[in-house]
Amino acid sequence: MPAPLRHGPREWTNYHGTETAQLADLIELLNSSRESGRDALREVATDVQALLGDASRMGAQLRPLGAGWSPSPITIVQHGWLVETRRINRCFALGNDDVASGVDASRLLLVQAGATVDEVNDSAEELGLSLRTGGASNGQTWAGACATGTHGSVLTAGGIQDHIRALQVVTPSGIFWVEPARPVMSPAFVAATGSTIFRDDDVFAACLVAVGAMGFITAMVIECVPIFMVRNIQKRARIGRDDVTRLAEGDFRGFSRLYGLDEDPHFLQVILNPFAPFEKDALLRLLYLRDHDPSIPPPPRPLTGAGFDALTLIGKAMAGIDLFRADILQLAMRAGYAVRRDVDDPEAIATWGNTTEPHNPIANLFNGSVTLTRSDLDRAFDPLIEAFLSGGGGTVVTLRFMKRAAGLLAPARFPDNVVIDFDGPRSDVSHRSYRAVVARLDAMGIRFTRHWGKTNDLDAARVACDYGDDYRRFRVAQRRLMPDLADIAVFRSDPLIHLGLIE
Q: Does domain 229-449 have CATH number 3.10.180.10?
A: no
Count of alpha carbons within 13 angstroms of residue 441, beta-carbon side: 26
CA end-to-end distance (rounded Å), the chain: 35
pLDDT band at 307 (very low <50, low <70, confident <90, very high): very low
Residue pLDDT, tens place only, 381-419? 999 999 999 988 767 899 999 999 999 999 999 999 999
pLDDT value at position 135?
76
Residue pLDDT, tens place only, 356-388? 766 666 556 788 899 999 999 999 999 999 999
pLDDT value at position 347?
65
Q: What span, in angstroms and rounded, lies between the C-alpha atoms of 41 and 35?
A: 11
Q: What span, in angstroms and rounded, lies between the C-alpha atoms of 116 and 90?
A: 10
Q: pTM, whole model, 2 decimals?
A: 0.93
Provide the 8-state DSSP code for 263. S
Q: Which of the pair, 500 or 395, is modelled with greater confidence?
A: 500
pLDDT value at position 302?
46
Domain residue spans in the chain? 5-226+473-499, 229-449
pLDDT over 70 percentage in the chain? 88
pLDDT value at position 138?
80
Indicate the length of the chain as a whole number: 503
pLDDT value at position 39?
96
Mean of the per-residue pLDDT values of the chain? 90
Which residues neighbour 144 within 8 Å (Cβ) at sequence distance 6 or greater? 66, 67, 69, 70, 75
Question: Checking phi first, is residue 461 left (phi over 0); if not, alpha (psi -120 to 50) or beta?
Answer: alpha
Q: What span, in angstroms and rounded, lies between the C-alpha atoms of 356 and 358?
A: 7
pLDDT value at position 328?
65
pLDDT band at 67 (very low <50, low <70, confident <90, very high): confident
Tell whether omega for the bond before 302 is within 30 degrees of 0, i.e. cis.
yes
Residue pLDDT, tens place only, 336-351? 665 566 766 666 888 9
Question: Checking phi first, is residue 201 left (phi over 0); if not, alpha (psi -120 to 50) or beta?
Answer: alpha
pLDDT value at position 363?
58
Name beta bridge partners: 124: none
The H or E element containing residue 458 is none
pLDDT value at position 353?
84
Residue 319, pLDDT > 50, answer no
The H or E element containing residue 338 is none
Count of alpha carbons within 13 angstroms of residue 171, beta-carbon side: 25
CATH of domain 5-226+473-499: 3.30.465.10
Residue pLDDT, tens place only, 216-246? 999 999 999 999 999 989 889 999 999 999 9
Residue 211, pLDDT > 50, answer yes
Q: What span, in angstroms and rounded, lies between the C-alpha atoms of 468 and 239?
A: 37
Q: Are 249 and 313 in contact (CB under 8 A)?
A: no
Range scoring the smallest mean pLDDT among 303-312, 384-393, 431-440: 303-312
Range scoring the smallest mean pLDDT among 4-18, 353-367, 414-428: 353-367
**Average pLDDT for 321-342:** 63
pLDDT value at position 455?
85
pLDDT band at 434 (very low <50, low <70, confident <90, very high): very high
pLDDT band at 460 (very low <50, low <70, confident <90, very high): very high
Q: Are 39 and 112 in contact (CB under 8 A)?
A: no
3-class DSSP state for residue 286? strand
Q: Are 209 and 147 in contact (CB under 8 A)?
A: yes
14, 313, 336, 391, 396 from 430: Cα distances, Å? 20, 15, 19, 8, 10
Provide the 8-state DSSP code for 116. B
Q: What span, in angstroms and rounded, lies between the C-alpha atoms of 232 and 288?
A: 7
